Amino acid sequence: MINAVLQDELEHNDIKMQTTPAASAGARRRPSDNMSWKQMEAVTSVTLRNSQDLAGAKSAADEPFAGLKLQRFSLHVDFPLACIVTGLAVEAGSTENLATALAYPNAMSKRQSLTSSSTGTSGGYHYSFWTDGSDVTYTNGDAGEYSVTWSGGSSNFVGGKGWQTGSARDISYSSDYNPDGNSYLTAYGWTRSPLVEYYVVESYGTYNPGSGGTKVGSFNSDDGTYDIYTATRTNAPSIDGTQTFTQYWSVRTSKRTSGTVTMANHFDAWAGLGLDLGTHDYQIFAVEGYQSSGSATVTVS
């Protein structure tokens, strides 16, 4: 039930709401009780003090808009009002937080945090998170966004978002990448027949991952130079259990934390060196860490 302070504010600002009462405890829920925000009809009219343009205001996912003033709000909702105001702190004399939450529902979206290996779908993207026991937390966000935090130890992890089937696509990404030690920011995937684990490393921490392999060439792509390495893993974890397989590495010589990776260029460069790929399994843009600590927030598209 709306508290008295909020009710006064709704009336004071001429806010009109039509709601369908929430079902009683234990009652069978209607399909509309699970209605998404995209199915909700809302019309808002707001002004920003100091003539600040709404499009340039700071995202509500960070904090409520400074100076936001509600003039008029008309809303029709066919699910319990509690779904809207849950978690909101509406102070006397203010409806700004309510207006912001209604207009920007992504600020209240659910996030999925994982500490053990998992794969699935999140925000329309395939995600893969593997850990051998690291002190690491991987969190899926909206659409192609995810974050990961990890601390020191002797363990390994790799996680990210992308596609269930790899291809010669262009992968765009942006990130806030803060490694302390051995870590990679990388396009990452697998093929079968032959079984290959491949990396296109855009940035890394204190250790160049190619240094553990054999350098077989270099080429230019996406306004940078990549060194190509190969390595063999013996009796190591793979998408088919413990196997012996080959790794292909493209390591960018000038690190970057945002841009576009043209995967076709890497596949062609590898093929020109006799490094064949098989049938693609998943392909993600990932963060990997080994015996290190750090944090990263990444958005993939």
- Look at 100 and 169; give whichever has higher pLDDT: 169
* Cβ partners under 8 Å of residue 79, min gap 6: 20, 32, 33, 34, 35, 40
Instruction: Look at residue 62 and tell me whether its pLDDT is greater than 60.
Output: no
- pLDDT at site 107: 39
User: 126, 282 in Cβ contact below 8 A?
Assistant: yes
Tokens for 247, please give them: 């790794």
DSSP state of 155: -
Of 39-43, 74-78, 237-241, which one has max mean pLDDT? 237-241
pLDDT-derived band at 64, boundaries 50, 70, 90: very low
Domain boundaries, the chain: 4-108, 112-300
- Give the residue among 231, 150, 230 at the shortest CA–CA distance from 183: 150
- pLDDT at site 51: 34
- Look at 27 and 288; give whichever has higher pLDDT: 288
Q: What is the spatial distance between Cα 210 and Cα 230, in angstroms, rounded to a whole number?
A: 8
DSSP state of 253: S
- Look at 166 and 102; give whichever has higher pLDDT: 166
User: 278, 194 in Cβ contact below 8 A?
Assistant: yes
Instruction: Look at residue 97 and tell me whether its pLDDT is greater than 70.
Output: no
- pLDDT at site 152: 76
For the CA atoms of 225, 226, 227, 233, the dihedral, rounded to the nearest 10 degrees, stands at 170
- pLDDT at site 110: 63
- pLDDT at site 154: 66
* Percent of the chain whose pLDDT exceeds 70: 63
Instruction: Look at residue 72 and tell me whether its pLDDT is greater than 60.
Output: no
Residues 14-18: what's their mean pLDDT? 41
The number of beta carbons lying within 10 Å of the beta carbon of residue 151 is: 14
Residues 91-108: what's their mean pLDDT? 42
Q: Which of 9, 145, 202, 288 is catalytic?
A: 288
- pLDDT at site 133: 83
pLDDT-derived band at 285, boundaries 50, 70, 90: very high
- pLDDT at site 50: 36
- Look at 295 and 9; give whichever has higher pLDDT: 295
Strand pairing category for 136-140 and 118-122: unpaired
CATH architecture of 112-300: Sandwich (2.60)
- Look at 80 and 130; give whichever has higher pLDDT: 130
Determine whether 91 is an active site residue: no
User: What is the pLDDT of the chain when averaged over all its residues?
Assistant: 76
- Look at 194 and 39; give whichever has higher pLDDT: 194
- pLDDT at site 111: 82
Instruction: Look at residue 82 and tell me whether its pLDDT is greater than 50.
Output: no
* Cβ partners under 8 Å of residue 286, min gap 6: 128, 158, 159, 160, 162, 184, 185, 186, 187, 188
Please name the amino acid found at residue 130. W
Instruction: Look at residue 300 and tell me whether its pLDDT is greater than 70.
Output: yes
Q: Helices (DSSP H) in the chain: which residue ranges? A: 4-12, 82-85, 96-103, 263-272
Instruction: Look at residue 245 and tell me whether its pLDDT is greater than 50.
Output: yes
Determine whether 288 is an active site residue: yes
Which tens digit of pLDDT belongs to each residue from 192-242?
Answer: 999 999 999 999 999 999 999 999 999 999 999 999 999 999 999 999 999
pLDDT-derived band at 155, boundaries 50, 70, 90: confident
Q: Global pTM?
A: 0.66
